[in-house]
Amino acid sequence: MAASLGEMAVLCHKFITAPQASSSSFVNVIKLGTFCRTVVWPCLPPLLMYQYIRAKDEDMYAMEVLYYKSGSRDAKAFYDTSRLNGSGHWRLQQDMETIRAAANAE
């Protein structure tokens, strides 16, 4: 068992270090690293921010639809803006109330 794990580790190491075996492969690895550092990495933060904003917007839209279809006039029941750090979301309020009730059971 240990011998097969050792062989597997050696094989994985050879697979990772094989691209650097020749000088032309080594240059290609450097070019790929430079491309990732100058093109790919700078594009990631804006894409991640865009995805976060879209998800947040989708969540708020769903909350607005739920509020509209409920016929309620109490907007704070769905999102209480006076609460800290986004804890005003109705689902989070419900979860926290369930936890509080279970923790303070008499």
CA–CA separation, 28 and 25 (whole Å): 5
Q: Which range has highest mean pLDDT (3-7, 44-48, 75-79, 84-88)?
A: 44-48
Q: Per residue in 4-28, pLDDT tens? A: 888 999 888 887 776 666 778 778 8
Q: Which residues contact 15 (CB under 8 A, 6 or more apart)?
A: none
In the predicted structure, residue 31 carries a pLDDT above the cut 90? yes
Q: Per residue in 55-80, pLDDT tens? A: 878 777 877 777 788 787 877 776 77
CA–CA separation, 34 and 102 (whole Å): 54
CA distances from 81 to 41, 93, 99 (A): 35, 12, 21
pTM over 0.85: no
